[in-house]
Structure 1
Amino acid sequence: MATRTPWTAPLDDAETTHWDAVAVEVAAVLATDALARDRANAEPDAELKLLKESGLATLLIPSQYGGGGGHWSSALRAVRILARTDASIAQILSYHFCNHASIVFFGAQDRWEHWFTASAEGTWLWGDSVNPVDPDLTLTPDGAGYRLNGRKRFSTGASTGDVTLVMAAEQGSVDGGARVLASVVEHDRPGVEYLDDWDALGQRLSASGSVQFTDVAITADDILGVVGEEPYSTLVTPGVQLGFANLYLGIAEGALRQARSLTLQRRGSWLLSDVDHYSHDPFVQRVFGELLAKTAAAEALTDRWNARFDRVIARGADVTAADRTQVEIGIANAKVVATETALEVAHRVFEVTGSSSARSEVGLDLFWRNIRTHSLHDPLDYKKLEIGAHYLTGAVQPITLYT
């Protein structure tokens, strides 16, 4: 019996070392002008070209289809590393990984070669138009295919991607219901309009604007499959949430790194202090110690679930509902801890870097603006409820694109 997953090979240290080094190199390039690009709020075309040329865009595509043959943990670590300098580009990469993994989660196995090979050969970046709290996309039967209509907000990576993963309700299905189908639409297909309306506090280069679809022709070949509740296919949502945890952890690490540099550059010490430099001030050291300890805890929990996610993904069709619940709750824990840690770190680093670090040209605010913006993606209190309800009563939240 087929396992329904291509990600079965064991992870080795050489893979981790390789992709970490690639991500570090890309992050170093992004760091040279991250703040200026954030201020410009322009489409990140050059940055996404860098993701393609580095191999990160095809990291998760199995090697038999021309990709990097990497594991989910390698992909997620790359997201974390990029987020230390440019969380917007890290977000696009994180979503891309989950979007093109829908080839496996929702698609028929006999179509994997087609989609993965095309994605690898074209070094496609996959955007999405799937926002479940804005379910205004419909597929109306039209001959052998459909017509896609509606508008989706928060379509991360769609305007800059080569293809967009679209989820829309099929109208007039045989059983009278409205199945949700996942389909793939290339960037320039007639009837697709990118509204360029993303102008947020943070994550400014994440290309998360709205998309309007007007009588877009969708053929049978464009359809990946039905978005249902089979346990293995629904692992895509914990995968998305784990991407968030790595994104947030990277933001915290980046804020700490810049705060350390700024503290070491500060002249003298506080006038009531008896030390000769801010870096020797016990109050400064205490704040760093507290924030570093919390970040280390978030790192340990996130690393644990990166590794466990690899192992669960490798089971494919053998994944049970109980397995899926365990992954959902475990990753929810990591997401809660990473979110609260990054919010605190990005806020409190100003306590140790001083008033000069609030100057616009310093850019320390970029970390806080990014985590404050993206952490609003779905309410953290509902993640805590998800965890607590399961602990107390065994309750499992309904399967959605958030749980």
Structure 2
Amino acid sequence: MTTATLATPPSPATSETVARIDELGPQFRARMRSLDAQPAFPFENFAEAADAGLHRLCAPVEFGGSGYWLPGNYSGWYEILERLAYWDTNTAQLLQVHNHATGIIAWHGTEEQRNHFLPKIVDGAFCASLGSEAHLYENGAERLTSELTRVAGGYRLTARKGFASVAAIATYLVVWAAVEGEDPYAKRMVFAVVEKDSPGVELLDDWQMLGMRSTISCGVKFTDVFIPDTHIVGAPGGWVDHDPRTFSCAYAANHIGAAQAAFDFIADYISERDDLSGSEVVRVRLGRMDAKLFAARACLQATAARLDRGDDPDSVEADAVRTMHLAKDAVLSIPYEGFDLLGARACHERYPLGQMMRDARTFTLHFRDDLYVERLAHLALGHGFSAKGGRGGSTPFEGTTAELGQAHAGA
């Protein structure tokens, strides 16, 4: 499928969607503490989000979606994600994963597959995306090894995946796996769309985490699961070779929204205390936080505008990595520094700052910052930059950044 057939003009409804999120948001925020304490999946949030159409944001317009995360229509998607994360970074991340999985099916699916899956998704079938093979009760290096074994009429899958966000409510598990062959893993990778109730699928009870607790991003075990040919989406290697999109700006948007929420709490707390608001030292530190947020958001908006224009994917992704770095710095430093300004009472659980800090520390490890900025150094040293040729969450990785970049450049 060519990108031209998917090109969509920017949606005029972004502001309306953000307004709907602001109507739902206070309820999302009110549930955060209870969901974190249990921990429990935000089923109520998802029901309300679906009623507001937030589950079909990345479905093409012709299927009843909003057409975000498709050519010409990126900026609004990141604005929406930022606002969702402002109210609850957990719910925002879950909706992000589902919508990205929808966008993958929309881009890589055949016409028959799109006609089969997308109406069901728009009608309320949620998708999880299963790429990671970092398992919570092991301490080895992560390697992607899930392979599909060819059988009559389809494939068999025996594998284990970790961090399966959305699995608790999903109808479809979009599994990143490779077909048999001798080529590198990324060149053989496809998307296997597995129905969660298929025989041999088991959700693991292994989610005990510091933060992002209500995502319930459990592991999933597949034991000789049959997947028909009709549920294998994409050509081998299509994600790396024929899809310019990545996840970097979406994660940056989530971090910026969460950082803004922490900043607003800190500013409101200070404004109610004359001893704090009257301190020049406190005001200077608050101003520095404000500048961090502005810098990260400005970079996100500029990078999203480049995506909308269809600029060179490698150059744009370098900007997206820079944006991710700034967004991570903001979401990690603002809640942490806020405790120094507000004092011990801000640690009380009646306030959200502690959970915001735990969620930020956990979520930002999804893409480790050192792996990202090392790629920028590789570029600065004159060795080039490939959007899909570097180690990170948007790419199935093998080897070092330099090796990956050289291999992709020579493909």
* Bin of the TM-score, shorter chain as denominator length: 0.7 to 0.9
In the alignment, the residues of structure 1 paired with residue 161 and residue 17 of structure 2 have an alpha-carbon distance, to the nearest angstrom, of: 33
In the alignment, the residues of structure 2 paired with residue 177 and residue 368 of structure 1 have an alpha-carbon distance, to the nearest angstrom, of: 38
Counterpart residue identity of residue 63, structure 2: Y
Q: CA RMSD in A?
A: 2.2
Determine the structure 2 residue equivalent to 1:131. Answer: 132
Q: Which runs of 5+ in 2 are unaligned?
A: 134-141, 396-411
Q: For residues 214 and 340 of structure 1, do their structure 2 counterparts lie closer, same or farther at Cα, with a shift above 3 Å needed?
A: same
Counterpart residue identity of residue 11, structure 1: P
State whether residues 256 and 297 of structure 2, in contact with CA within 8 Å, keep that contact through their aligned partners in structure 1.
yes
State whether residues 163 and 187 of structure 1, in contact with CA within 8 Å, keep that contact through their aligned partners in structure 2.
yes
In the alignment, the residues of structure 2 paired with residue 39 and residue 218 of structure 1 have an alpha-carbon distance, to the nearest angstrom, of: 37
> Segments of 4+ in structure 1 off by > 6 A?
175-178
Q: For residues 92 and 389 of structure 1, do their structure 2 counterparts lie closer, same or farther at Cα, with a shift above 3 Å needed?
A: same
Counterpart residue identity of residue 346, structure 2: S
Deviation per residue, 1:39-73 (Å, 9 max, x gap): 12112222222221110101221221122344332
In the alignment, the residues of structure 2 paired with residue 234 and residue 160 of structure 1 have an alpha-carbon distance, to the nearest angstrom, of: 27
Determine the structure 2 residue equivalent to 1:117. Answer: 119
Q: Displacement, 1:110?
A: 5.0
Determine the structure 1 residue equivalent to 2:398. Answer: none
In the alignment, the residues of structure 1 paired with residue 259 and residue 106 of structure 2 have an alpha-carbon distance, to the nearest angstrom, of: 32
Q: Displacement, 1:109?
A: 4.5
In the alignment, the residues of structure 1 paired with residue 184 and residue 385 of structure 2 have an alpha-carbon distance, to the nearest angstrom, of: 25
Deviation per residue, 1:326-375 (Å, 9 max, x gap): 12211101001111121111211112222211112223111111111111
Are 1:251 and 2:258 an aligned pair? Answer: yes
SS where residue 210 of structure 1 aligns? strand
In the alignment, the residues of structure 2 paired with residue 113 and residue 186 of structure 1 have an alpha-carbon distance, to the nearest angstrom, of: 17
Q: Displacement, 1:218?
A: 0.2
State whether residues 191 and 214 of structure 1, in contact with CA within 8 Å, keep that contact through their aligned partners in structure 2.
yes
1:284 to 269, 282, 285: 282
Give the TM-score normalised by structure 1: 0.87
Q: Compare 143-152 and 31-40 and name the one that shifted more.
A: 31-40
State whether residues 176 and 192 of structure 2, in contact with CA within 8 Å, keep that contact through their aligned partners in structure 1.
yes
Are 1:141 and 2:150 an aligned pair? Answer: yes
Q: Displacement, 1:129?
A: 1.1
Q: For residues 196 and 265 of structure 1, do their structure 2 counterparts lie closer, same or farther at Cα, with a shift above 3 Å needed?
A: farther
Q: Displacement, 1:187?
A: 2.2
Determine the structure 2 residue equivalent to 1:381. Answer: 370
State whether residues 65 and 120 of structure 1, in contact with CA within 8 Å, keep that contact through their aligned partners in structure 2.
yes
In the alignment, the residues of structure 2 paired with residue 232 and residue 137 of structure 1 have an alpha-carbon distance, to the nearest angstrom, of: 20
SS where residue 83 of structure 1 aligns? helix
Are 1:36 and 2:45 an aligned pair? Answer: no
Q: Displacement, 1:137?
A: 2.2
In the alignment, the residues of structure 1 paired with residue 17 and residue 35 of structure 2 have an alpha-carbon distance, to the nearest angstrom, of: 25
Q: Displacement, 1:7?
A: 4.6
Determine the structure 2 residue equivalent to 1:273. Answer: none
Give the TM-score normalised by structure 2: 0.85
Q: Compare 62-71 and 39-48 and name the one that shifted more.
A: 62-71
In the alignment, the residues of structure 2 paired with residue 5 and residue 218 of structure 1 have an alpha-carbon distance, to the nearest angstrom, of: 30
Q: For residues 232 and 303 of structure 1, do their structure 2 counterparts lie closer, same or farther at Cα, with a shift above 3 Å needed?
A: farther
Determine the structure 2 residue equivalent to 1:97. Answer: 99
Determine the structure 2 residue equivalent to 1:79. Answer: 81
Counterpart residue identity of residue 112, structure 1: R
Determine the structure 2 residue equivalent to 1:272. Answer: none
State whether residues 61 and 67 of structure 2, in contact with CA within 8 Å, keep that contact through their aligned partners in structure 1.
yes
SS where residue 164 of structure 2 aligns? coil
Determine the structure 2 residue equivalent to 1:293. Answer: 291
In the alignment, the residues of structure 1 paired with residue 159 and residue 22 of structure 2 have an alpha-carbon distance, to the nearest angstrom, of: 40
1:163 to 166, 172, 176: 172
State whether residues 82 and 250 of structure 1, in contact with CA within 8 Å, keep that contact through their aligned partners in structure 2.
yes
Are 1:20 and 2:27 an aligned pair? Answer: no
In the alignment, the residues of structure 2 paired with residue 128 and residue 153 of structure 1 have an alpha-carbon distance, to the nearest angstrom, of: 10
Determine the structure 2 residue equivalent to 1:350. Answer: 339
Are 1:191 and 2:200 an aligned pair? Answer: yes
SS where residue 215 of structure 2 aligns? coil
Q: For residues 124 and 77 of structure 1, do their structure 2 counterparts lie closer, same or farther at Cα, with a shift above 3 Å needed?
A: farther
2:329 to 333, 337, 340: 340
Taking every aligned residue pair, what percent have the same amino acid on both sides? Answer: 26
State whether residues 331 and 360 of structure 2, in contact with CA within 8 Å, keep that contact through their aligned partners in structure 1.
yes
Q: Displacement, 1:206?
A: 1.5
Determine the structure 2 residue equivalent to 1:275. Answer: none
State whether residues 157 and 226 of structure 2, in contact with CA within 8 Å, keep that contact through their aligned partners in structure 1.
yes
In the alignment, the residues of structure 1 paired with residue 371 and residue 110 of structure 2 have an alpha-carbon distance, to the nearest angstrom, of: 33
Q: For residues 366 and 65 of structure 1, do their structure 2 counterparts lie closer, same or farther at Cα, with a shift above 3 Å needed?
A: same
Count of aligned residue pairs for this structure pair: 378
State whether residues 105 and 232 of structure 1, in contact with CA within 8 Å, keep that contact through their aligned partners in structure 2.
no
